[in-house]
Amino acid sequence: MTIEFEAPKPLVNMQNMLQTVAENMMRSTSREMDENEHSIPWDYIEFMHTAMRSMGGAGGLAPVEEKPKEGAEKRPPIGYQKLAVQIEMLAWGDVGYYLVTPGGGLGAAAVQAAGTPEQKAKFLARFNEEKPTFAAMCMTEPGAGSDTSAIRARAVLDEKTNEWVINGEKIFVTAGDKSFTEYEKLGKGFIVVWASIDPSAGRAGMRAFVVEAGTPGVKITKLEHKLGIRASDTASISLVDARVPFENLLGSPTVEKTTTGFKGAMATFDATRPLVAASGLGVARAALEFLKEKLKENGVEIRYGLPRQKLTSVEREVIDMEIMLKSAWLMVLKAVWMADNKKPNALESSMSKVKAGDVCTKITQKAVEILGPIGYSREFLLEKWFRDAKITDIYEGTGQINRLVVARQILGYSGSELR
């Protein structure tokens, strides 16, 4: 091992390619999508699916496992690094659009993390087929956010039919509509629903179920109107006696009185937090670049190299933003590098999310502030990025819950020692 910061060639190439996509397909229609919430950007969805498929990479948040060419030297894996770079670049284009990128998203990530090899084979193949396909994760409930132990959804086994019968109400399901509703232009998606098979066992009884699109008893009850990321649908889903086959339960159906099973499933988040952080940093970079461009147009140059006390306040702000952004990005890179190299990264993963949540919120806020009316006006996208960015400090664990995770890790405390 060594310390190295040279971006691998495949990453750079992909980044360049995606920048073109971001500029041509996203930025040009960002405003329109923002102002027409709940419309679906089919052109983008179809283009991205074709493009990713031709690269063999359609699928979403789980990295594509590289098959080494015969005789070729075995390279260290960069699957998660690739995803982080890809997501950052797409979010730089438009984070709302990025969330509409076809693929398995968090749903497939859950299958990847908790599923058996057979389940992975069964549920993940579809993302690479002809039609773009979505999957979503249903964790949050009206009464359960970061506190997943408060989940009330219930799954009961009907032994006669060997089916799970699920009842519950899920909210804030990103891409829930595209994953569950059977659109003609889309392949058959699924949602992964978290429910308890044994409420007396607390977290140990929690399981994830794959619920196929169109399953009877499941309904999209609402599409949210949001502060930002309006190109992406956020659904409420109710499940009333929804039946899924026995084998759609991810992992083991036996309830042990420990939380190891649940913790294993929560490992999904160790893999995805830095990716969500990456998406926030893409927005932050867009905002910072826009700010610098506007300052330059107005004759304000940032004088790097000067001591603090000689800089103007605007220069200080910009320099601070760069420090934040660059260091946060390195934290993301480290966390995904660890994931690629199978190093436990719960700490680094949450840290990167804490940092990125702060950074993208601050940078977009400050950029709007510094540019005054130009920042606030809907003539430019900056005000939208400010609204978009805020979600990064909320979803996939709020900044606060991630601070708690970081604190427990560094203090060596369990959940009951530090609540």
Partner 1 sequence: MYSFEPNEEQQMLIDAVGKYAENDLRPAAHDAEENRELPKKLVSKGWELGLLQASVPETYGGFGERSAVTGVLAVEEMAYGDLAGTLAVMTPSLFATPVLLGGSEEQKQEYLPKIIEGEWAPYTAALVEYAFDFDPTALKTTAKAEGSSFILNGEKAFVPFAKDAEALIVYANLDGGTQGFIVKKEAAGLSISEEREKAMGLNALPMYRIKMENVTAERLGGASGHDFELILSAMRVASAAAAVGVARSSFEYAKNYAKEREAFGVKIAQKQAVAFMLAEMATEIEAIRLLTWEAAWKLDNGKEDAHTAAYLAFTGAADMAMMVTDRGVQIYGGHGYIRENPVELLMRNGRGFPMLLGTAIV
Q: What secondary structure letter does DSSP report for 308?
A: G
Q: How far is the CB of 339 from partner 1 (least distance, A)?
A: 12
What is the spatial distance between Cα 134 and Cα 107, in angstroms, rounded to a whole number?
8
Structure tokens at 134: 């979505």
For partner 1, which is the closer residue by CB, 135 or 351?
351
What is the spatial distance between Cα 416 and Cα 419, in angstroms, rounded to a whole number?
6
Structure tokens at 111: 């299958």
For partner 1, which is the closer residue by CB, 348 or 383?
348
For partner 1, which is the closer residue by CB, 2 or 54?
2
Q: How far is the CB of 278 from partner 1 (least distance, A)?
A: 13
Identify whether the C-beta of residue 58 lies closer than 8 Å to the C-beta of residue 108: no
For partner 1, which is the closer residue by CB, 253 or 399?
399
Structure tokens at 115: 């599923």
Q: Helices 382-389 and 79-98: crossing angle, nearest 10°? A: 120
Q: How far is the CB of 291 from partner 1 (least distance, A)?
A: 16
Structure tokens at 120: 């992975």
What is the spatial distance between Cα 329 and Cα 325, in angstroms, rounded to a whole number?
6
Structure tokens at 242: 């929804």
What is the spatial distance between Cα 135 and Cα 235, in angstroms, rounded to a whole number?
13
In sequence order, what are the beta bridge partners of 220?
237
Identify whether the C-beta of residue 56 lies closer than 8 Å to the C-beta of residue 64: yes
For partner 1, which is the closer residue by CB, 321 or 371?
321
Identify whether the C-beta of residue 148 lies closer than 8 Å to the C-beta of residue 128: no
The distance in angstroms from the start CA to the end CA of the chain is 37
For partner 1, which is the closer residue by CB, 340 or 383?
340
Q: What secondary structure letter does DSSP report for 128?
A: G
What is the spatial distance between Cα 409 and Cα 387, in angstroms, rounded to a whole number?
31
DSSP string, 186-220: S---EEEEEEES-GGGGGGGEEEEEEETT-TTEEE
Q: How far is the CB of 271 from partner 1 (least distance, A)?
A: 17
For partner 1, which is the closer residue by CB, 165 or 394?
394
Active-site position among 23, 70, 396, 417: 396
Q: How far is the CB of 354 from partner 1 (least distance, A)?
A: 5
Q: What secondary structure letter does DSSP report for 127?
A: G
Q: How far is the CB of 338 from partner 1 (least distance, A)?
A: 8
Q: How far is the CB of 148 from partner 1 (least distance, A)?
A: 18
Residues near 207 by Cβ (< 8 Å), separated by ≥ 6? 155, 194, 195, 196, 197, 249, 250, 251, 253, 261
What is the spatial distance between Cα 226 and Cα 80, in angstroms, rounded to a whole number?
29
Q: Is 396 a catalytic residue?
A: yes
Give contact residues for partner 1 (rule: CB under 8 A).
Answer: 1-8, 76, 78, 81, 304-310, 319-320, 322-324, 326-328, 330-331, 333-334, 337-338, 348, 351, 354-355, 400, 403-404, 406-408, 410-411, 413, 417-419
What is the spatial distance between Cα 223 and Cα 220, in angstroms, rounded to a whole number?
8
Q: How far is the CB of 146 from partner 1 (least distance, A)?
A: 13
For partner 1, which is the closer residue by CB, 111 or 346?
346
Query: Any idea which residues carry the catalytic annotation?
Result: 396
